[in-house]
């Protein structure tokens, strides 16, 4: 397992062409060999499941996901202010979004169910470079929110569902941006020459934590959601990444790589005070995901010699294995009621979505297939999950009921599509 930020789109291990990273990628990287060295955070076109539409390599792509630690995805950004306009730029779903002219074949229909749950944001490489899209939960009303110029990934909804944060690569730099859910009012939040990615909203929607690679080191930062007020939360010689806010907004959990393939889970206050280790080695421990009530953390660990999903108390106590299969288990995601965990399991040479009770009972695969699945994300009501699969030859979004019934493809457009996130 690599304990450094990895490619989100399912590319191979870092060290080759530069690639983007996000929290889901780190979680999915539990299946990869341990790789020491620098962290690559730029996009390499054509890498991973986003580029080829085929099966992913050893490491697959976050945030988590997610909430994304959740585990598999993409990201991108750069130093041009507002979205570029002109030929090839697309309009947002409400019209008047970034750009002035639709690209050939671009979707501009407004999503029908705007209020409430039932809207999914995702990224797609259908035009060669990734862009951010939204689609209704019934597969209708797909719309692109970002222009064709640049590379955009890892969309994350604000808690009130009115905005989407994402990472965007423009002019060879990656920064964190925010745009309205209608594609309007885009704002760049970071502008450092280093790479900024993996945004995570605070529960009150006022701040965004993110991972930044600046000065050769990877750290966790926070910035005001309206811009300004940026400050660094971690400052050690180790790489620290994958921020996840506690439900009450009082702590931010993250992964700290401490070398030789080992990593720990730490938390810190949003002002940078009180950093403390919660989950320490042995092994790699990474990708923390808070339970909805904030009383527990799910994470991935190799402490037993295999990559498994673990759950511990919010203070790090009582860590216990939820999965114990010899296959690699990755990318945990809590159900909205906190009673179950969805995750990805690599068994029989495939990766399938599984659901298990938080105590480890009633583990079952949802819609298993001879294919590669990633990024399970629960709907707000807990009735469905959206995930990524290449079962039809190219990575697309699929919906399935929490009991495994009713499987169907969600994304209507050409792929590869990835990084799904339900609107709150």
> 360: which DSSP letter?
S
CB atoms near residue 306 (< 10 Å) = 18
* Predicted pLDDT of residue 206: 98
Helix or strand or coil: residue 267? strand
pLDDT less than 70: residues of the chain? 1-117
| Residue 384 pLDDT | 96
Question: Rounded to 5 degrees, what are φ and ψ at 50?
Answer: -70, -35
**Is 263 a member of any domain?**
yes
Residue 230 near residue 271, CB atoms below 8 Å? no
Q: Among 235, 214, 174, which residue's Cα sits nearest to residue 22?
A: 174
* pLDDT at residue number 2: 53
Residue 15 lies in a domain: no
CA–CA separation, 89 and 93 (whole Å) = 13
User: Looking at the domain assignment, is residue 9 inside a domain?
Assistant: no
Residues paired with 169 in a beta bridge: 151, 174
Provide the residue range defining the domain that includes 80: 23-98+115-422
Provide CB contacts within 8 A for 68, sequence distance 6+. Answer: 22, 23, 24, 62, 156, 200, 244, 289, 333, 377, 421
Give the 3-state secondary structure of residue 349: coil
In this structure, is residue 232 part of a structural domain? yes
Alpha-carbon distance of 100 to 195, in angstroms, equals 28
pLDDT at 412: 73
Cα separation values, 161 from 9, 95, 121, 141, 179, Å: 25, 18, 11, 17, 11
User: Which pLDDT score, from 0 to 100, does residue 262 have?
Assistant: 96
- Total domains in the chain come to 1
**3 state SS of 28:** helix
Is the residue at 390 inside a domain? yes
- State the pLDDT at residue 37: 30
In a domain, 160, yes or no: yes
Q: In this predicted structure, what is the pLDDT of residue 48?
A: 32
Give tens-digit pLDDT for 177-219.
Answer: 999 999 999 999 999 999 999 999 999 999 999 999 998 899 9
Is residue 107 in some structural domain? no
- Residue 137 falls inside a structural domain: yes
Contact 385, 366 (CB under 8 A): yes
**DSSP at 63:** B
Three-state DSSP class for residue 196: strand
- The per-residue pLDDT for 116 is 38
Q: Identify the CATH number of the domain in which residue 325 sits.
A: 2.120.10.30
């Amino acid at each position: 397992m690599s304990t450094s930020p990895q490619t989100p789109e399912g590319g191979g291990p870092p060290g080759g062409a530069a690639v983007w990273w996000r929290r889901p990628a780190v979680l999915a990287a539990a299946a990869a060999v341990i790789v020491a060295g620098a962290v690559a955070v730029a996009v390499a076109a054509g890498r991973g499941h986003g580029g080829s539409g085929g099966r992913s390599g050893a490491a697959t792509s976050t945030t988590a996901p997610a909430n994304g630690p959740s585990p598999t995805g993409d990201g991108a950004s750069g130093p041009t202010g507002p979205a570029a306009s002109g030929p090839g730029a697309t309009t947002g779903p409400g019209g008047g979004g970034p750009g002035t002219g639709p690209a050939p074949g671009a979707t501009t229909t407004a999503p029908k169910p705007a209020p409430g749950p039932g809207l999914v944001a995702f990224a797609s490489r259908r035009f060669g470079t990734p862009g951010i899209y939204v689609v209704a939960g019934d597969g209708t009303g797909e719309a692109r929110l970002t222009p064709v110029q640049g590379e955009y990934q890892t969309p994350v909804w604000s808690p009130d569902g009115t905005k989407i944060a994402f990472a965007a690569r423009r002019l060879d730099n990656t920064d964190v941006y925010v745009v309205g859910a209608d594609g309007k009012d885009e704002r760049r939040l970071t502008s450092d020459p280093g790479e900024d990615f993996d945004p995570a909203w605070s529960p009150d929607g006022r701040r965004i934590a993110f991972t930044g690679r600046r000065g050769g080191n990877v750290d966790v930062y926070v910035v005001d959601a309206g811009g300004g007020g940026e400050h660094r939360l971690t400052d050690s010689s180790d790489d620290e990444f994958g921020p996840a806010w506690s439900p009450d907004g009082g702590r931010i959990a993250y992964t700290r790589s401490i070398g030789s393939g080992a990593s720990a889970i730490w938390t810190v206050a949003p002002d940078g005070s009180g950093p403390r280790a919660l989950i320490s080695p042995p092994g790699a421990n990474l990708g923390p995901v808070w339970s909805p009530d904030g009383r527990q953390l799910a994470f991935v660990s190799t402490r037993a010699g295999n990559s498994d999903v673990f759950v511990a108390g919010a203070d790090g106590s009582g860590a216990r294995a939820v999965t114990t299969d010899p296959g690699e288990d990755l990318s945990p995601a809590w159900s909205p009621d906190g009673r179950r965990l969805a995750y990805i399991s690599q068994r029989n040479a495939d990766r399938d979505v599984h659901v298990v009770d938080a105590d480890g009972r009633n583990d079952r695969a949802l819609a298993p297939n001879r294919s590669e699945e990633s990024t399970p994300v629960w709907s707000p009501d807990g009735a469905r999950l959206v995930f990524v699969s290449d079962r039809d030859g190219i990575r697309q979004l699929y919906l399935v009921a929490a009991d495994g019934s009713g499987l169907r493809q969600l994304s209507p457009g050409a792929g590869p599509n990835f990084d799904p996130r339900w609107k709150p």
